[in-house]
Structure formats: C-alpha cells, structure tokens
Amino acid sequence: AQQQPAKGAPRLLLMGQRRSGKSSISSVVFHKLPPNETLFIESTARIQKDSLSSFMDVQIWDFPGQIEIFENSNVTFDIDAIFGEIGALIWVIDAQDDYTESVARLHHTILNLQRSYPQINIEVFIHKVDGLSDDYKFDIQRNITIQIQDELSDQGIDNAPVNFHLTSIYDHSIFEAFSKVIQKLIPRLGQLEAMLTNLCRTCRFEKAYLFDVNTKIYIATDNTPEDMSSYEICCDFVDVIIDFTEVYGSWPRTQQWRDRLEGEPWDQPLEDQVACDRAEAGMILSDSQRPIMLREVDRFLALVAIMKEGSYDKMPQINMNVDVVVKGLEEFFRITKQKNIVEPTI
Ligand code: GDP
C-alpha cells in the first residue's frame, strides 16, 4: 500500500511554460514512468498537487504554463497559500525551444518572490539537454545565468538564491538535480555528510549515498568529489533490490541467521543497537571487483556504498560500523523531522 506523507511538509513547486516537461519530470522521478512513455502523457492543463511518499513529504505542484499567477486575471490566486511554505521553486525551461519568453517570466517571478518570500530557493532546470552537445549546453546555461543575474542586479537584487541545473529525463541528470534541490532543504545536512564521510574512512568505502529509495534521490553523500558514475551504479543497484523484493518479498532476518553468517567474533551483541529486520544486500561489481552494499535505514531511506576492491573480507567489521551509523541516522531524522504544520489550501 502507498504510504501517505505527513501533512505540512516542505513543498517543491514545479513551474514553467507549457510543454517544457513538468509533467514528464514528475512522472519519471516520482512515479517511475519510463522516459519514452512521457511522449504520450497529457500536458499540464491545471494545477496538480502531487504528494509523494518519501521521507521528506515533498509536494509537487505542477502549474500549467499559461497561468500567470502574479498578473491580474479572471482567477485570483491566494499567493500566500501557494508560496507560504514552499522550500523551493523549480522553474523548468525547455532548452530545445526558444526560451526567451520563459526567461522573461522567470525574471518576473523572481522579482515578485523576492519581495515577499526571499527565503525560497529558485532552482532553474535547463531541461531536455539530451541530444545537445556539451558546448551548446554550457553556452545556454551561461546565457540564461548572465541574463537573469544582469536583470536582477539592474533591479538592485544581487543575492537572490537562484541556481541552475542542466537536466534530462533520459539520463540520471534529473535525479541528480532533484537531489541537489532537496539537500538544500535538509536541516543540518553538514552533520549527515560528516557521518557518511566518517563511515567511508573507517570502512574504506569509495563512495556512500543515503538514498530515498522510492525516488532514487540522494539525500546526502560523503565529502569525496562528486562522481556521476558511482551515483548511476548505486541507482541501478537500488532498482535491482526493489525488483528483487517485488518478486521474492521480504522477511525479517533472525539473529541466529545473522550469527551464522558472520561467525565469531563478530556475532557479539552490540548492546541495543543491532537491528535484524532491515533489508540488506551485497554484490560484487563484475567490471571492477568492487563490492557494493545496501542497508535499509527506515521505510524510506537506504544507505548504499561502493567499497574498494577486495574489501569483501572485511564485511563483518563493516557491518558493525554500518549498524552504528544506521542507528545514528535514525536518531538524526527523529530529531530533525518537521511535524504538525498545517497544510494550506488554495
Ligand atoms: P508540461 O506541459 O510542462 O507538463 O510538459 P510535458 O511533460 O507534457 O512534456 C512535453 C514533451 O516534452 C513531452 O513530449 C515529453 O516527452 C518531452 N520531454 C520531457 N522531458 C524531456 C527531456 O528531458 N528530453 C526530451 N528530449 N524530451 C522531453
């Protein structure tokens, strides 16, 4: 059964011109629609509220391109209800089309938001960059960035929180961009990153990610440089585990099972901290002989890490360290999770 998010969660708002790709983005990222099938989905024709079951209770409000909420029109929008609690506004620009009008509207929107809601992050997705050469992509990004920043500074606004991302639903860039957007909304992200960085050091992991399993967005990673290929491998691994679980189901692993698997001396009880009913999985990547592991943290989150070649022998020690970090992560989210905010209505 679909788990419903709590009310009053931080919201993401998806806006942009008609056909820029908003419905496709939310279908691919939040509902696992294969990218090719977006060719047939209907363009957004009304405001859609789409809440997803995720650890952060993000809501996607998909706005149709032709609605101009700040302009006088026949419909009056309750601006406060729309923007009052949002964490980030995602503005989608179709990079394969003429983007002049979209950029003009974006500028207009930022100006309006800066007046009343300067805390909202504005995340510009320069979208559909698949099929464009690298040079061309970066040219577009530079043009749009300069245009927006120049216009804003002409109006005396120099520090608006505007960020730009190159995205496509046909590769992992859209997930990567969402990860960046969501990470900014996590209170005390630095502490999470520090936990993962320490874990990488003690366990000789190459890279560790904390995944929101349903969406494959990563909530945090360690402080080694970003590496798209590790992220892609970990995403695929999450998919494999989900498919596997769907076919074979899941069941709690007993302490005896675990003891037998790990043997002396690693079966010593770790006081109160060994949880035996969480999903865990390990494999060795055939190209590089590096082990990869997944450990469930709670019903939404999983820790996924790529290890250094040959570290499979150290699995018992690694499991012990991972247990401790998983416990720490649980505690972290118990403390930082927002609760009991009343959801606005429009
Ligand atoms: P909306 O009106 O903003 O909701 O736009 P849609 O989601 O309906 O998308 C319009 C068209 O853009 C669809 O035919 C999608 O298949 C296509 N599209 C969306 N994202 C991408 C992308 O990343 N790359 C490419 N090439 N096409 C995309």
What is the maximum span of the chain, computed from C-alpha positions, in angstroms? 74
172 CB within 6 A, ligand 1: no
Are the C-beta atoms of 180 and 276 separated by less than 8 Å?
no
Q: Which atom of ligand 1 is nearest to the CA of 40?
A: 14
pLDDT digits (tens, 9 = 90+) for 36-90: 888 877 766 666 666 666 665 566 666 665 566 666 555 566 666 666 667 888 9
Helices (H) and strands (E) in the chain, counts: 9, 11
Rounded distance from Cα 173 to ligand 1 centre (Å): 15
* pLDDT exceeds 80 at position 235: yes
| Chain centre distance of CA 56 | 10
Pairing of strands 11-16, 86-94: parallel
Closest CA relative to residue 122, chosen from 96, 151, 160? 160
Q: How confident is the model at residue 270 (pLDDT cuts 50, 70, 90)?
A: very low
168 CB within 6 A, ligand 1: yes
Residue nearest to atom 28 of ligand 1 (CA): 128
Of 24, 46, 101, 129, the residue with max ligand 1 atoms within 8 A of its CB, to mutate for a pocket test, comes to: 24
Rounded distance from Cα 20 to ligand 1 centre (Å): 6
pLDDT digits (tens, 9 = 90+) for 2-25: 444 444 456 788 888 888 898 899
Q: Which atom of ligand 1 is nearest to the CA of 170?
A: 23
Q: Which atom of ligand 1 is nearest to the CA of 169?
A: 23
Average confidence (pLDDT) over 136-160: 91
27 CB within 6 A, ligand 1: no
Closest CA relative to residue 152, chosen from 179, 199, 115? 115
| pLDDT number for residue 186 | 82
Lowest mean pLDDT among 81-95, 128-142, 156-170, 191-205: 81-95
Residues 6+ apart with CB under 8 A from 69: 63, 77, 79, 82
- Looking at per-residue pLDDT, the higher value among 323 and 254 belongs to 323
- Looking at per-residue pLDDT, the higher value among 271 and 156 belongs to 156
Average confidence (pLDDT) over 163-181: 93
22 CB within 6 A, ligand 1: yes
Average confidence (pLDDT) over 204-211: 90
Of 14, 18, 19, 176, the residue with max ligand 1 atoms within 8 A of its CB, to mutate for a pocket test, comes to: 19
Q: Which atom of ligand 1 is nearest to the CA of 27?
A: 7
Rounded distance from Cα 103 to ligand 1 centre (Å): 18
Q: Which atom of ligand 1 is nearest to the CA of 174?
A: 23
Are the C-beta atoms of 81 and 99 separated by less than 8 Å?
no
Q: How confident is the model at residue 254 (pLDDT cuts 50, 70, 90)?
A: low
- Looking at per-residue pLDDT, the higher value among 160 and 80 belongs to 160
Of 13, 15, 30, 38, the residue with max ligand 1 atoms within 8 A of its CB, to mutate for a pocket test, comes to: 38
Q: What are residue 303's DSSP bridge partners?
A: 210, 295
CB burial class (10 A; 0-12, 13-18, 19+) of residue 123? buried
Q: φ, ψ for residue 261 (rounded to 5)?
A: -65, -40
Tokens standing for 135? Answer: 């040079």
Residues 6+ apart with CB under 8 A from 294: 237, 238, 241, 279, 280, 281, 282, 302, 303, 304
Residues 6+ apart with CB under 8 A from 240: none
Q: What are residue 212's DSSP bridge partners?
A: 217, 301
